[in-house]
């Protein structure tokens, strides 16, 4: 029996903002006055360091949970849409566990959690977006930068060897995870690790790398304050220029045969008919061809590349999930969907009575105005497999505007 057809639930995203550490290396390099407060509460461009970090995270998450014991924390985040801070622990992993426990008590628990250091105030929005996008395919993702400098091992002030840098990356935050998985690992492990990705690695879970940013500096020593000030000043002084958008066109085509005992799902809605369509997922031929057109316009292959039919987790999947991914991919590249034109080819059922509802559903999934979506139908004049009512075919054309990469 096929799984019931239901709209996919939008993933709920939470973030932990860690502020429990004192910053021993910062204190060691600081004046007595500077060392009197934790590094994340020093002023940077007139605001506490941790407030910059919170402002960077808030546009991307549903819930922001600060973790820390310092009485300056509520004041530093005053007026922002964040939850009341929870107390951290003696070590970083204790603070993460405390934050996860607080999120677990929410009426609606998150699906994804980002873990970010309060001492990283300048994380670019693109880094957060890349991390969230990769979490569609992996249970753990971290931003990082490849090591470019030669590494030396030193003992007693003397070089004792050279460390090969091939395959070495510098980890940054926010690190992203499946919330249920990270909570389970923290419940079962009390190991002190420098980052949460290490918990997943220890149990054999794949953790993906996305490109970080040189601007995503962690405040570690006092000299970093000057570097961070320059980053913020550069961001202020750089002229805000609208990106040059170039048109891209994609075409899609898909076919599914009729099958007994299945619901007929077309363009995200159920259509009354005596047969459904055969396929690994719900076989929504309209959405599949629209996804292929979008992926083609973005030079991202086809739907099978992103959702392989050999993978059992996509069996009987609501194809709306696929179209949401395609729309998110457009936005992650800084692009926009101009319009989509979809043609369904079949003798029966009649598509006209349902076309308006189809347009509305596709627009909802793609987060665009329904005026940008066209759904129409034609027959093959009783010729071929569609004429013999053996199945349904669909074609789609999309127009997308994406920033010029300069290549």
Binding residues for a divalent metal cation are 254, 256, 288
Please report where in the chains the tokens 């880094």 appear, as a residue.
127
* Tally of CA atoms within 13 A in the half-sphere of 77 that contains its CB: 28
Q: What are phi and psi of 202, to 5 degrees?
A: -65, -25
Q: Which helix (H) or strand (E) holds 362?
A: helix 355-366
Residues 6 or more apart whose CB falls under 8 angstroms from that of 185 comprise 199, 200, 203
Query: For residue 366, what are its two tokens?
Result: 């793609």
List own/partner pairs for 361-366 with CB under 8 A and 24 or more apart.
361/267, 361/268, 361/269, 361/320, 362/267, 362/268, 362/286, 362/287, 362/290, 362/323, 364/268, 365/268, 365/287, 365/320, 365/323, 365/324, 365/327, 366/323, 366/326, 366/327, 366/337, 366/340
Smallest CA-to-CA distance from 289 within 163, 392, 395, 184 is with: 395
Cα 314 to Cα 135: distance, rounded to the nearest angstrom: 16
What are the residue ranges of helices labelled H in 109-254?
125-134, 179-188, 197-202, 223-237
- Residues making up the binding site: 254-256, 280-281, 288, 302-304, 378-381, 385, 388
8 Å CB contact between 242 and 268? no
Dihedral angle sign, alpha carbons of residues 23, 28, 31, 32: positive
8 Å CB contact between 66 and 85? yes
How many residues would you count in the chain? 407
C-alpha distances (whole Å) from 342 to each of 93, 123, 201, 209, 389 are 50, 39, 44, 36, 20
CB 110: neighbour CB atoms within 10 A? 23
């Amino acid at each position: 029996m096929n799984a019931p057809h239901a709209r996919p639930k939008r993933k709920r995203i939470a973030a932990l903002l860690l502020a429990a550490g004192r910053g021993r290396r910062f204190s060691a390099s600081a004046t007595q006055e500077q060392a009197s407060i934790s590094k994340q509460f020093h002023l940077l461009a007139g605001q506490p360091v941790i407030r910059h970090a919170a402002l960077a995270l808030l546009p991307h998450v549903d819930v922001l949970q600060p973790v820390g014991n310092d009485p300056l924390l509520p004041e530093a985040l005053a007026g922002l849409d964040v939850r009341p801070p929870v107390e951290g622990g003696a070590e970083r992993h204790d603070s993460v566990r405390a934050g996860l426990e607080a999120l677990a008590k929410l009426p609606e628990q998150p699906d994804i959690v980002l873990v970010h250091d309060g001492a990283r105030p300048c994380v670019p929005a693109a880094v957060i977006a890349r991390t969230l996008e990769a979490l569609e395919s992996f249970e753990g993702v971290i931003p990082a930068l490849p090591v470019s400098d030669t590494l030396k091992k030193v003992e007693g002030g003397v070089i004792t060897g050279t460390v090969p840098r091939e395959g070495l990356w510098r980890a940054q935050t926010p690190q992203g995870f499946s919330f249920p998985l990270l909570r389970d690992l923290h419940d079962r492990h009390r190991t002190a690790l420098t980052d949460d990705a290490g918990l997943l690695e220890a149990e054999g879970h794949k953790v993906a790398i996305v490109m970080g940013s040189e601007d995503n500096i962690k405040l570690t020593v006092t000299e970093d304050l000057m570097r961070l000030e320059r980053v913020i000043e550069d961001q202020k002084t750089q002229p805000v220029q609208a990106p040059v958008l170039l048109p891209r066109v994609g075409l899609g085509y898909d076919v599914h045969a009729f099958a007994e005992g299945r619901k007929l799902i077309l363009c995200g809605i159920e259509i009354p008919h005596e047969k459904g369509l055969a396929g690994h997922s719900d076989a929504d031929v309209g959405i599949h061809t629209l996804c292929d057109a979008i992926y083609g316009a973005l030079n991202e292959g086809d739907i099978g590349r992103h959702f392989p039919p050999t993978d059992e987790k996509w069996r009987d999947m609501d194809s709306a999930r696929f179209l949401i991914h395609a729309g998110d991919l457009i936005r992650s590249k800084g692009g926009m969907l101009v319009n989509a034109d979809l043609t369904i080819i079949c003798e029966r059922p009649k598509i006209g009575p349902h076309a308006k509802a189809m347009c509305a559903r596709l627009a909802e999934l793609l987060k665009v105005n329904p005026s940008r979506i066209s759904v129409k139908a034609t027959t093959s004049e009783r010729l071929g497999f569609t004429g013999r009512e053996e199945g349904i075919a669909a074609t789609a054309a999309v127009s997308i505007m994406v920033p010029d990469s300069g290549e």
